[in-house]
Chains A and B, each alone.
Chain A
Amino acid sequence: MRGEFKMRDIVSGILLTAFSAVMYWRATQIADPGYDLLGPGFFPKFAVALMGILSATLLGVAVLKQVRQAASAERAGPVNWSLPADFIRQSLIVLLLGAYVSILIAGWANFELASVLFVLSAGAVLAPLRAKPLIILGITTALAVFVVSYTFRNILFVNLP
């Protein structure tokens, strides 16, 4: 467990340090027309430099702890790289939400159709594979999408796609 936490810190440390480096490079390219003393680049540079220092510290501390742990043979065991069912389910929901948002933005379907498809498919991923929950899911989806659509379109005058 401890090893897993350090591995997370190492991975996040690397990602954030790299992100800070890219952002700092971009911050140095912000043009300064000289309208104010500090200019538009000062605060971004300060923020991303601070993030870089903190991320590098996180990475350094995690690596140091990992090395110490390895040296004292206190390994918590190999990191489990297998994909549990929960993780797969979570990833599927992320993908479905991404697809839902993309369909709405691209205008490939209207709000009602996209929402019915999204709620049904995401619900099916999470629902137990039995007839009753699936029937409840179907009915609730139709009702909920109708109520939301009617309320936002006709009462709140929201311009839904």
Chain B
Amino acid sequence: MNDLLNSLAYMVGPMPMLYCIIGVIAGVVVGAIPGLGGGMLMALVLPATFAMDNLLAQVLLIGIYVGGVTGGLSSAVLIGVPGTPAAVMTAIDGHALARKGFAARALSIGIMASLFGGIVSWLVLASLSAPLARLASQLQSFDYFVFIALGLILIAFAGQGSVLKSLISGVLGISLALVGFDSISATNRFTFGVPSLSNGFDLLAVLIGAFAVRQMLVDSSEDRQIVQQASARLPEIVHELGRPFRYFGNLIRSSLIGTIIGLMPGIGANIGAIVAYSAAKGLSKNRDEFGKGSEEALVASESGNNATVGGALVPMIALGIPGSGQDVLLMAALILHQIQPGPLLVSEHPEVFYGIISTYLVANIVTLFVMVLSVRYLRSVLSVPKYLLVPLVLMLCTVGVISTNNRVEDTAIMFAFGVLGLFMSWFRFPLAPFVIGFILAPLAEERLRTAAGTARGNWLELLMTPVPLIAIALLIAIGLISIIGRMHFRNQMGTRSRQN
């Protein structure tokens, strides 16, 4: 406890605070630019941290990390394009709310829900990190596979429209993720004899194509302005900051969901947002509003995605297992300074261990102020006409893809997935399951193959363990609730149409 308090006292000093503010501002700005995101900036800054004090380097990187996740909120709400995959669900309801003329409210809800999610996950990080990390580390390979499958099925049931189309979308994402070289068997799969396909599809190019390019292509066909003119000013944003507390239960639940999901290695902020969103939708009395500008949805999505950051830090600092891509960069910064993250970190470098925990809290609070003060400037994006915004965003997407690997060929992947996203939009296939499937497929396959090898093909042995059994029970319950809910909805609609 003393170490934590000392660390917090250090964090409010001028230098750490300066680094934190710089990191958060940079993260918020870059996170708001579709396709760029905090991860890219962290990677670019990483070499520069070598010359810094090890703790200050962590402060800067965590500032970018937290700022980047929350920064995605601005573009999600203002232009309907998630700056980061974590803001996928935010883009749906936040942008719908902005289109109704409540941009300030949507931003305020997102900002405050993000802070709340961050604080809840910080409490878990600070007080329960060791036991929770132990629990997560006890999961077997097949348990991970079950979690991934469960996540995909959940999103299919929770998504808008047809469950069948959501499932197809998810499986299509899985299939395309399998293109390329299989490292276990040293075999090419689905490459059709094209050598460049051996590398598979670069994740960032796919995400930028599927989200940003697709969104711009869809918007280019529409006569209306991409965004609603904002009438809100700073006092209005500040005034609305208390609004998320009307949904206090939702805030707590979504933050806890995000934190727990963050604890699972490889399952990132986007899944946290999606599962929190699904849970909020399932338990809401106004579930019909979800997808059309629901405040509850926004609260769930933003608190859920931000809370995953704190959750993901737990296995990183306690076990040396990165919970997300950004955690890998944090670990790399530690290793650059000859510090090995893992169980010995707390005893050998307590200042770093508690410094990371304290930074996370301070970065969340700094993000609140940065977001509130910067939103009025980020809002200027709203007045940009479509004929400027669409080509410029497409150019930024292109340069963002090139800058990731310094490989211009990746822009072809971005273009192909942008066009695929456009086709999916024409044929009314939801995008989220596709991207989730694409992200999780390699991990799911690896876990399944490891589990099958461990159990020597005895599937019954794998299934008869607590996690799969609970997951199957959960799936049956979700399926039944979904079917009953849809039948109830149809009956109500039928009754209403008869009454009219």
Interface residue ranges, A against B (CB under 8 Å) = 5, 8-9, 11-12, 16, 23, 26-27, 30-33, 35-44, 47-48, 50-51, 54-55, 57-58, 61, 86-87, 89-90, 93-94, 97-98, 100-101, 104-105, 111, 115, 118-120, 122-128, 133, 136-137, 140-141, 144-145, 148, 152, 156, 158-161
The A/B interface has a contact count, at CB < 8 Å, of 178
Which of B118-177 touch A at CB < 8 Å?
164-165, 167-168, 171-172, 174-175
Q: Contacts A51-B171, A101-B411, A105-B412: A12 and B427 contacting too (C-beta < 8 A)? A: yes
B415–A101 CB distance below 8 A: yes
In the bound assembly, the distance between CA atoms of A60 and B216 in angstroms comes to 33
Bound together, the chains give a CA A130 to CA B394 distance in angstroms of: 23
Are A8 and B453 touching (Cβ within 8 A)? Answer: no
Binds A, one of B54-62, B348-356, B401-409: B401-409
Instruction: Name 19 extra pairs, CB < 8 A, besides A51-B172, A94-B419.
Output: A8-B428, A9-B427, A23-B175, A30-B187, A32-B187, A38-B452, A39-B185, A43-B444, A43-B449, A47-B178, A54-B168, A93-B394, A97-B415, A104-B398, A105-B409, A126-B390, A136-B388, A158-B399, A158-B402
Give Cα A126 to B59, complex, Å.
44
26 chain-A/chain-B pairs, Cβ below 8 angstroms? A9-B427, A30-B189, A33-B185, A35-B184, A37-B456, A38-B453, A40-B189, A42-B449, A43-B445, A47-B441, A48-B175, A87-B221, A89-B220, A89-B221, A90-B217, A90-B218, A93-B220, A93-B394, A94-B422, A104-B408, A111-B399, A123-B388, A124-B387, A126-B386, A126-B387, A158-B406
Complex Cα spacing A72 to B321, Å = 61
For A54, the chain B residues whose CB sits under 8 A away are: 164, 167-168, 171
**Residue in B221, B399, B412, B418 whose beta carbon sits within 8 Å of that of A148 in the complex:** B399
Determine whether the beta carbon of B184 is less than 8 Å from that of A140: no
By a CB distance below 8 angstroms, the chain A residues around B102 are: none
Complex contact A36–B412 (CB within 8 A): no
Residues of B within 8 A of A32 (CB): 185, 187
B223 at the interface (CB under 8 A from A): yes
Closest Cβ neighbor of B454 among chain A residues? A37
Q: Is B116 an interface residue (CB 8 A)?
A: no
What chain A residues lie within 8 Å of B449 (beta carbons)?
Answer: 36-38, 42-43
Using CB atoms, name the residue of chain B closest to A111: B399
Q: Nearest Cβ in chain B — how far from A85, in angstroms? A: 9
Bound complex: CA A115 to CA B402 (Å): 13
Contacts of B457 in A (CB 8 A): 37
* Total residues of chain B contacting the partner, CB 8 A: 63
Q: For B171, what are the chain A residues with a Cβ–Cβ distance below 8 Å?
A: 47-48, 50-51, 54
A133 to chain B, nearest CB (A): 6
Binding site for A on B (CB under 8 A): 44, 164-165, 167-168, 171-172, 174-175, 178, 182, 184-187, 189-190, 192, 213, 216-218, 220-223, 385-388, 390-392, 394-396, 398-399, 402-403, 406, 408-409, 411-412, 414-415, 418-419, 422, 426-429, 441, 444-445, 448-449, 452-453, 456-457
Shortest beta-carbon distance from B131 to chain A in Å: 34
Q: Are A115 and B395 interface neighbours, CB within 8 A?
A: yes
B403 touches A158 (CB 8 A): yes
A148 contacts B406, C-beta separation under 8 Å? no
Interface core residue of A38, A127, A160 (most chain B CB under 10 Å): A38
B387 contact from A12, A23, A33, A133, Cβ within 8 A = A133
Q: Which of chain B's residues have a CB closer than 8 A to the CB of A156?
A: 44, 403
A61 touches B189 (CB 8 A): no
